[in-house]
């Protein structure tokens, strides 16, 4: 009997979670179409007369602002291309130079 109660409770919670996820995805989709990406190259918002969104969404996230309160105009994540073989050699050298590694072991 208790198992049935757990199954019903889990089903109800899962239903609420999935419906909330779908509702959030729909809202994000509508907001992205409504707001769009109107940052210009100076890091400022576009023409205020072209804004069709609420004032609460005009302020960017605080992590996207510098010390003066202006939007950061630089990449926030920089990824560089690496050669897999070179990185594997560097990791092998680091492993071989580690204190717990004995040089008598053969590769296998």
pLDDT digits (tens, 9 = 90+) for 23-76: 999 988 887 776 555 554 444 555 555 555 454 557 778 878 888 888 888 777
29 located within any domain: yes
Domain that holds residue 65: 2-96
**Separation of alpha carbons 88 and 86, rounded Å:** 5
30 located within any domain: yes
State how many domains the chain has. 1
42 located within any domain: yes
13 located within any domain: yes
90 located within any domain: yes
Q: Which one is predicted more confidently, 61 or 84? A: 84
Q: Which residues contact 42 (CB under 8 A, 6 or more apart)?
A: 73
Structure tokens, 27: 């809202």
97 pLDDT above the threshold of 70? yes
pTM to 2 decimals? Answer: 0.34
105 located within any domain: no
Structure tokens, 47: 């023409």
């Amino acid at each position: 009997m208790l198992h049935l109660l757990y199954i019903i409770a889990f089903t109800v919670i899962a239903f609420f979670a999935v419906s909330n996820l779908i509702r959030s995805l729909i809202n994000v989709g509508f907001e992205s179409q409504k707001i769009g990406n109107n940052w210009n190259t100076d890091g400022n918002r576009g023409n205020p007369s072209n804004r069709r969104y609420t004032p609460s969404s005009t302020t960017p996230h605080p992590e996207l602002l510098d010390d003066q309160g202006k939007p950061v105009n630089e990449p926030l994540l920089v990824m560089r291309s690496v050669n897999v073989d070179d990185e594997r050699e560097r990791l092998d050298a680091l492993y071989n130079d580690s204190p717990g590694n004995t040089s008598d072991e053969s590769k296998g």
